[in-house]
Amino acid sequence: MKRLYLITLLIASLVAACSGVQPASHSDSLTVMTHDSFEVSADLVSTFEQANNVKLVFLKSGDAGAALNKAILSKDAPLADVFYGVDNTFLSRALAADIFEPYNSSDLKTIPAEFQLDQGNNLLPVDYGDVCINFDKAYFFEHNLPVPQTLEDLLKPDYKGLLVMENPATSSPGLAFLLATIAHFGKENYLDYWQGLSSNGLVVVGDWSTAYYTNFSASSGHGSQPLVVSYASSPAAEVIYAETKLTEAPTGSLTGPGNCFRQIEFVGILKGTQQRQLAEKFVDFMLGVQFQQDMPLQMFVYPVNPQAKLPPEFVQYAQVSEQPANLTPSDIASHRDDWIAAWTDVVLH
Amino acid sequence: MRRFLPWLGASIFLVVFFFYPLLRILWLGLDWSGLEGNWDQVARLAGTTLWFTFYQAILSTLLTLLVGLPGAYLFAHYDFAGKKLVKALTAVPFMLPTVVVAAGFNALLGSRGWVNVVLMNLFHLETAPILFVNTMSAILLAHVFYNTTIVLRLVGNAWMRLDPRLGQAARMLGSKPGEVFWKVSLPLLRPAILAAGLLVFLFDFTSFGVILLLGGPHFATLEVEIFIQSMQMLNLPVAALLSILQLLCTLVFSVLYSRVVGRVNVPSTPFMNPMRKVNTWPARIFVSGMLILLISLFILPMAALPLRSFASLDPAMGQRTVFTAHLTLDYYRELFINRSGSLFYVPPIQALVNSLSYAGMTVLISLALGFPVASALVRPGRVERALDPFLMLPLGASAVTLGLGYIISFNQSPLNFLTSSWLVPLAHSTIALPFVIRSLQPALAAIPDDYRKAAAVLGAPPLRAWFAVNWPLVGRATLAAGTFAFTVSLGEFGATSILARPESPTLPLAIYRFLSQPGGLNYGQAMAMASLLMLVATLAILLIERMRLPGSGSF
C-alpha cells in the first residue's frame, strides 16, 4: 500500500515538474490573442516571421466575447502583445476597459473613414462582414414564391415559419440581426416588429451552426427553414466548399437597404507589451495589402483596405449590403443588455 | 498525520488546479456595488433558473436510472452474442461533443429525419408528426443518451460482484425471486446506485451544450446563464453569484450523499457471478426487449453520422427535391488536404494523436491521485468525512467560470503555464477525479476485511496481502475508473476549447471548426471526423475492457 502511494506521489510530482517546464518566453516572439474564427495562410505568417526574425504565437480564446473578456480579465499581466477580433458591438466596452495602447499607423490613411470608429486609434479596423438573411434559391423557385425583399416582407403570411435565427443572447450573428432591426425600425418600434415576427412562426435556435446546418434547407443538413440569419459572404463559401463543382451559389443574401448589420473587426496593441515595435509591425502587416487579400478566403470577411483585390469567387458569389443598418458603438454599449432582455421577453417568453 | 497522507496528492492537485483559480475569479467577480439597485432582477433570474435547473436534472436522472438499472442487470447477468460490442457502444455517447450529438438526433428525429419521413410516407401526412428539436423531451432524451453509461458501469459492476450466496440463502428460506430482489439485492446495491445517481444528477445539473443546442433558447440552466452573463453580457458580478449558487448546490448534494451512503460495507465475492444463458422465455423477452431499447436509444442516433459521412447528397441538376445520393470517400480524402493553406490546418491523424495523448495523461493523473483517496474513504475517519464532499465539487463548477479562473491564475510566474500542453489533461483530471474515486470506492469498500485478515494470519506481509487479495478484486473497478477518465477527456469540449493551443486541437475541436463555416464539404468533413472519433472511442473501450490487469484475471 505504501509503495503504491509512493509511486503515486512520484507520478504526481513528475507531472507538476513537467508542467512547470515552459517554452521560455523568447524576446523574439510576439503573441497574438484572437477568437476561434481567426484563420490565416501559413505562407503569410512565415513571411512575416522571416522578415522580422520573430516567432508568432497565436492564442485562440473562444468566441469574440469570450476572447475579449479574457483580455480584460488578464490586463494586469497581459497574455499577449496584440489582440485581434474586437467588433463594433464590443468596441465601447473594450475601450472603456482601457486595455489598449493607441497606435497611429500610417496605413490608416488608405482606409476609409467609415471604418475608423475609434478616433483615438486604440483599435484599428481590419475587416468587415454583413450579417444578412440568406435564402434557399431552390425552395422559392419550386414553391413559386417571390423571395422576400425587405424586413417588413417577413411579416407576410406567405413566409410563416420560414425564418430561423440565432438567439442574440448567445450568438453574435443573432445579436447583429437584432441590431439591424433596431436601426431600421427605431428604438420605439422594433419590439412591435419582433412581436409580429414571433407570431409569424419565427424559429430561434442557440447558435449559428445549428441554425445553418440543422434548420436551413439549402445547407447539407437539409432542414426545414429556407431563410436563415447568416453572413452575406456565406453563398461564396457554399460554392468554394461545395461537394461537387457549382457554377451558381445555391443560396443568396437579402442585401437590400436596412436588411443587414455590418460587423467591423478591429485590432489593437495591448497595454503593457514589451514588444511595442514588433506589435506595430504586426498591426501594419494586418492592414497591409497581402494580409487583406488573404482574409476573404480564410475568414469570409471583406478587407477594409480598398487596395486589396478580392478573389474572383468573392466578386462573383459574395454580396455586400447596399445600406447596412447603422448604430454607434456607444449606443450599442449602453443599451445592449436591455435590448437583449427586452427581445427575450417578447420572443422567448 | 498518517491519515492525511493518502489525501496529499489529490489535495494539492485540487487546491492548485481547482480551488485556487476558482476562488480568484469569484473574488474578482464579486463586486456587490455592481449588483446594487437591481437585486430584485438578479434574484428573479437566479430563482427561475435554479428552479428549471433542478426540475430538468431530477427528471433526467430518474429517466436515466429507469433505463440504466435494467440495463445494468442485463450486462451483469446475461451472456449473449455481441454483448461486449453493445456495452462498448453505450459508452461512446459520453465522448461525443454536443454539436455532433445534435446532428445525430436531428438526422433521426428532426423534421426531415428518418422517423418523420417514414411516418409522413406511411400515413400520408403533410407535416412532420414528431417535434423534437427545441423541446423538453430533446433535453431529457439527450441526457439519458449521454449518462446511462454511468449507471450501466457503476451499478453493473457492483451487481456482478454481489455475493450470490446471499440471494440463494434467501431463496432457501422461502423468499420469492421478487422478494430477493427488493429485500436483498437492492439494499446491497444502494451505494452503487446512489453513487451513479449522484454523478448523473451533477452532470444534468450543470448541463450546458445539450440545453443550448438541443433544448434551444427557451431553456436555461445555471450553467447556460453563467455563460450568457459572463461571456455575452460581460456581467461578471451576476455570473459569479450564479457560479457560487451552483457550487453551493453541488456541495449540498455531496454532503447529503455522504450522509446517506455512510459506512456501508457490501459483502462481495471474489467469484464472478456465473453468467446466465438466455434459454427461458422470460429471459428471451427481457434480453431482446432491453437490446431493442438500448440499440434504438444509443446506436440509431449515432449511426446517422457515419452513414452521412459516406454519402454525398447532391440535388439532381435543376431539381432540388430530387437528391441523388451516392457513396463517396471525398470527405475523408478532403480531411488530408489543407485546401486554403491555413496556418491552423491539422491533419486528422494529428488531432487523433492529440486527443489520445491528452486522454492517456488524464487516465494516469486521475488514477494516481484517486486511488489513495478512494482507499482512505473505505474506512472513513473524521478527515475523510470532512473532505469527502469537496471531492465532488469539480463536477459542479461552471466550466466557463473555471476557464476564466485559469486565465487569471496561470498567466504569471510561478504558475505560468497557460501555454503548457499539460494544462488540458490537468483540467480534464479535475473532472475525471470524482469519477475515478466514486467508481473505485464502492469496489474497495466491498472487499470483506476477513480476506485480508485471513491472508495476514497465513503469514502474508501487508503489501503482499493487498496485492494477493485486494488487487484482484479491484482490478475490474480500476479498469472502469480508467475508462471513465479516458472518456471524460476524449469528449470534453468546454475547457479544452479555452485551454488547448490552436495548433494542437483535439478531435472535438476539429469537428467544431468544420461546423463553423458554410459549405457542403465542411459539413461532410465534420461528419467524417465525428465518425473517426466514434470509431476510435469504440475501439479504445473494447481494448480497455479486454485488458486484464496483471494479477487480476486469474480466476
Assigned architecture for domain A28-128+263-317: 3-Layer(aba) Sandwich (3.40)
Question: Could you tell me the pTM of the whole model?
Answer: 0.85
pLDDT at A24 over 60: no
Nearest residue, CB atoms, B372 vs list A8, A206, A240: A8
The ipTM is: 0.83
- How confident is residue A194, by pLDDT bands cut at 50, 70 and 90? very high
- Give the angle subtended at the CA of B424 by the CAs of B419 and B426, to the nearest 5°: 110
User: Using CA atoms, how far apart are residues A298 and A42, in angstroms rounded to an integer?
Assistant: 11
- How confident is residue A128, by pLDDT bands cut at 50, 70 and 90? very high
Q: Which of residues 191-220 of A touch B (CB under 8 A)?
A: 203-210, 212-214, 219-220
- How confident is residue A279, by pLDDT bands cut at 50, 70 and 90? very high
User: Using CA atoms, how far apart are residues B527 and B338, in angstroms rounded to an integer?
Assistant: 17
For residue A23, list chain B residues with Cβ-Cβ distance below 8 A.
419
Name the pairing type of β-strands A29-34 and A82-87. parallel
pLDDT at B12 over 50: yes
Mean pLDDT of chain A: 89
Per-residue pLDDT, B441? 81
Q: What is the mean pLDDT of residues A7-32?
A: 55
Q: Say if B279 is an interface residue toward chain A (CB within 8 Å).
A: no
Q: Say if B342 is an interface residue toward chain A (CB within 8 Å).
A: yes
Give pLDDT tens digits for A57-113: 998 888 888 889 889 988 888 889 999 999 999 999 899 999 999 999 999 999 999
Mean pLDDT is lowest, of A13-27, B92-106, B198-212, B429-443, for A13-27
The x, y and z cell numbers of residue B132, run together, are 423534437
- Hey, are the CB atoms on B417 and A240 less than 8 Å from each other? no
Q: Of B418, B407, B542, B541, which is closest to residue B486 (Cα–Cα)?
A: B541
According to CATH, the superfamily of the domain at A130-261+320-348 is: Periplasmic binding protein-like II (3.40.190.10)
- Hey, are the CB atoms on A8 and B516 less than 8 Å from each other? no
Q: Which residues contact B202 (CB under 8 A, 6 or more apart)?
A: B250, B253, B392, B395, B396
Q: Which of residues 416-455 of B touch A (CB under 8 A)?
A: 416-420, 422-423, 426
Per-residue pLDDT, B99? 79
Per-residue pLDDT, B552? 45
> Which residues partner with A34 through β-bridges?
A60
3-state secondary structure of B317: coil
By the 10 Å C-beta count (0-12 exposed, 13-18 middle, 19+ buried), A186 is classed as: exposed
User: Using CA atoms, how far apart are residues A130 and A152, in angstroms rounded to an integer?
Assistant: 19
Of residues B271 and A115, more confidence is placed in A115
Nearest residue, CB atoms, A8 vs list B369, B412, B521: B369
Q: Which of residues 99-158 of A touch B (CB under 8 A)?
A: 138-139, 141-142
Q: Which of residues 264-293 of A touch B (CB under 8 A)?
A: none
Interface test with B, best of A33, A57, A60 (most B CBs within 10 A): A60
Which residue has cell 470527405? B331
Name the pairing type of β-strands A203-205 and A29-34. unpaired
Per-residue pLDDT, B263? 54
B497 CA: distance to closest CA in chain A (Å): 6
- Hey, are the CB atoms on A1 and B463 less than 8 Å from each other? yes
Q: What is the mean pLDDT of residues B417-438?
A: 84
Contact A124, A268 (CB under 8 A): yes
Give pLDDT tens digits for B15-42: 999 999 999 888 887 776 666 667 888 8
Contact A292, A226 (CB under 8 A): no
Q: What is the secondary structure of B467-506 as a DSSP string?
A: IIIIHHHHHHHHHHHHHHHHHHHHH--HHHHHHS-TTS--
- Hey, are the CB atoms on B419 and A23 less than 8 Å from each other? yes
Nearest residue, CB atoms, A40 vs list B217, B343, B414: B343
Per-residue pLDDT, B320? 55
Nearest residue, CB atoms, A212 vs list B403, B418, B518: B518
Q: Which of residues 301-340 of B touch A (CB under 8 A)?
A: 312-315, 320-321, 328, 330, 338, 340
Per-residue pLDDT, B190? 87
For residue B407, list chain A residues with Cβ-Cβ distance below 8 A.
61, 70, 73-74, 79
Contact A244, B546 (CB under 8 A): no
User: Using CA atoms, how far apart are residues A137 and B338, in angstroms rounded to an integer?
Assistant: 30
User: Using CA atoms, how far apart are residues B281 and B270, in angstroms rounded to an integer?
Assistant: 30
For residue A69, list chain B residues with Cβ-Cβ distance below 8 A.
230-231, 234, 404
pLDDT at B386 over 50: yes
B483 CA: distance to closest CA in chain A (Å): 19
Q: What is the mean pLDDT of residues B356-384?
A: 88
Omega of the bond leading into B414 within 30 degrees of 0 (cis): yes
With a pLDDT cut of 90, the percent of chain A lying above it is 67
By the 10 Å C-beta count (0-12 exposed, 13-18 middle, 19+ buried), A198 is classed as: middle
Per-residue pLDDT, A267? 97
Per-residue pLDDT, B414? 67
Mean pLDDT is lowest, of A11-20, A134-143, B477-486, for A11-20
Name the pairing type of β-strands A124-136 and A251-254. antiparallel
Q: Say if A246 is an interface residue toward chain B (CB within 8 Å).
A: no
For residue B371, list chain A residues with Cβ-Cβ distance below 8 A.
4, 8
Q: Which residue of B has its CA nearest to A205?
A: B216
Q: Of A272, A271, A291, which is closest to residue A281 (Cα–Cα)?
A: A291
Per-residue pLDDT, B39? 81
Q: What is the mean pLDDT of residues A238-253?
A: 86
Contact B79, B277 (CB under 8 A): yes
Q: Say if B251 is an interface residue toward chain A (CB within 8 Å).
A: no
pLDDT at B324 over 80: no
Count other Cβ atoms within 10 Å, centred on residue B115: 16
Mean pLDDT of chain B: 83
User: Using CA atoms, how far apart are residues B432 and B434, in angstroms rounded to an integer?
Assistant: 6
- How confident is residue B459, by pLDDT bands cut at 50, 70 and 90? confident
Give pLDDT tens digits for B519-545: 888 888 988 999 999 898 888 888 877
Q: Say if A334 is an interface residue toward chain B (CB within 8 Å).
A: no
Per-residue pLDDT, B294? 92
Give pLDDT tens digits for B482-499: 888 998 898 888 788 878
Q: Where in chain A is the domain with CATH 3.40.190.10?
A: 28-128+263-317, 130-261+320-348
Q: Of B418, B401, B423, B18, which is closest to residue A77 (Cα–Cα)?
A: B418
Mean pLDDT is lowest, of A10-24, A284-298, B82-96, B272-286, for A10-24
- Hey, are the CB atoms on A243 and B340 less than 8 Å from each other? no
Q: Say if B8 is an interface residue toward chain A (CB within 8 Å).
A: yes
- How confident is residue B554, by pLDDT bands cut at 50, 70 and 90? very low
Q: What is the mean pLDDT of residues A119-133?
A: 95
3-state secondary structure of A32: strand
Give pLDDT tens digits for B272-291: 667 778 888 888 999 999 99
- How confident is residue A16, by pLDDT bands cut at 50, 70 and 90? very low
Q: Which contiguous run of DSSP H or E holds residue A316?
A: helix A312-317
Of residues A14 and B380, more confidence is placed in B380
A290 CA: distance to closest CA in chain B (Å): 14
Of residues A95 and A219, more confidence is placed in A95
Interface test with A, best of B4, B108, B228, B517 (most A CBs within 10 A): B517
| A71-85, A251-265, B129-143, B407-421: range with highest mean pLDDT | A251-265
A239 CA: distance to closest CA in chain B (Å): 7
Q: What is the mean pLDDT of residues A44-50?
A: 95
Tell me the three-class secondary structure of A61-91, residue by residue.
Answer: CCCHHHHHHHHHHCCCCCCCCEEEEEECCCH
Q: Say if B11 is an interface residue toward chain A (CB within 8 Å).
A: no
Per-residue pLDDT, A47? 94
Per-residue pLDDT, B555? 31
Alpha helices in A80-211 (DSSP H): 91-96, 137-142, 172-185, 190-199, 208-209
| A257-271, B211-225, B506-520: range with highest mean pLDDT | A257-271
Domains and CATH numbers, chain B: 5-29+39-314+329-546 (1.10.3720.10)
pLDDT at A21 over 70: no
Per-residue pLDDT, B2? 66
Q: What is the mean pLDDT of residues A118-126?
A: 95
Nearest residue, CB atoms, B515 vs list A5, A23, A209: A209
Contact B203, B190 (CB under 8 A): no
Per-residue pLDDT, A25? 43
Q: Which of residues 167-196 of B touch A (CB under 8 A)?
A: none
Of residues A44 and B377, more confidence is placed in A44
